[in-house]
Amino acid sequence: MEHYLMNLTLKVWRQANSNAKGKFETFKVKDISSEMSFLEMIDVLNEQMIREGHDPIAFDHDCREGICGMCSMYIDGRPHGPWHANTVCQLHMRAYKDGDTIVIEPWRANAFPVIKDLMVDRSAFDRIIQAGGYVSVNTGSPVDANATPIQKDNADAAFAAAACIGCGACVAACKNSSAMLFVSAKVSHLALLPQGNPERKSRVTNMIAQMDKEGFGSCTNTGACEAVCPKEIKMSNIARLNNEYLVAGLTIDK
């Protein structure tokens, strides 16, 4: 693949904290390699800003391998940028050409308040998972892998749902800031497996209650969440979540 250098204009959202009024600031970056990742490009800009005595742009990152879900930002109006099934750290600058202007923003959702600049507080997701509680297991020596027979279709669906990294792109893309795709993935991967059965009903009711408490919106099935999910979590999980919640509501011990 041909390697080339480019000069870019970046319009970046700057905001001191969740209570401050933010604004876009414009920056120029030069000689950016087409083989850099998007986050490496921001690193170059931050190094330039530090040399010039300016406050660098705050953004979240950790693994830079598409696993941790922290590099959450809008790029030109799309969560995680233009590439499909991709996180920001997996986006490379060959997606752009010399002279392009790129607009970079944080997630926009009341449940994800801005910490600073491009960093948002996604701890609402953590509290939803905590509300789900635990999974009952017997302690002691690990059992054989084939000791609990599971239908392949269920195993595959559970594995696909468990791929969710909790990045929040689904919330950011949804016009209602709904967390239903995230919650449905977390509920589905346990509801599909026998190990998740003992706490099945309390898990879904508690997680839905916490989701509502956090201020996420309702799902209207527009499909924007699935379209931008970097792990391609399917909306069929939302249908499964609704069914789990209905059954739990009808049968759970009062």
| Model pLDDT, residue 253 | 61
pLDDT at residue 1 greater than cutoff 70: no
Q: Give the Cα separation of 207 and 201 in Å (integer).
A: 10
Q: Which fold has domain 122-251?
A: Fumarate Reductase Iron-sulfur Protein; Chain B, domain 2 (1.10.1060)
The sign one gets for the Cα dihedral 216, 220, 226, 227 is negative
Where does the pLDDT of residue 252 fall: very low under 50, low under 70, confident under 90, or very high at 90 and above? low
Distance CA 254, CA 249 (A): 9
Positive or negative torsion for Cα 163, 166, 171, 177 = positive
Q: What is the pLDDT of residues 173-220, one digit of tens each?
A: 999 999 999 999 999 999 999 889 989 999 999 999 999 999 999 999
| pLDDT per position as a tens digit, 93-125 | 999 999 999 999 999 999 999 999 999 999 999
Mean pLDDT value across residues 52-72: 95
Q: How far apart are CA 91 and CA 88, in angstroms?
A: 5
In the chain, % of residues over pLDDT 90:
88
> pLDDT of 209-239, one tens digit each?
999 999 999 999 999 999 999 999 999 999 9
Residue 254: pLDDT over 60: no
| Domain 5-115, CATH | 3.10.20.30
Of the candidates 185, 189, 179, the residue with the CA atom closest to the CA atom of residue 158: 189
Question: Tens of pLDDT along 124-148?
Answer: 999 999 999 988 877 778 777 677 8
The structure's pTM equals 0.93
Q: What value does the mean pLDDT take over residues 139-166? A: 88
Mean pLDDT is lowest, of 8-22, 33-47, 138-152, for 138-152
User: Could you tell me the residue ranges of all domains in the chain?
Assistant: 5-115, 122-251
Closest CA to 132 of 212, 77, 190, 177: 190
pLDDT at 148: 80
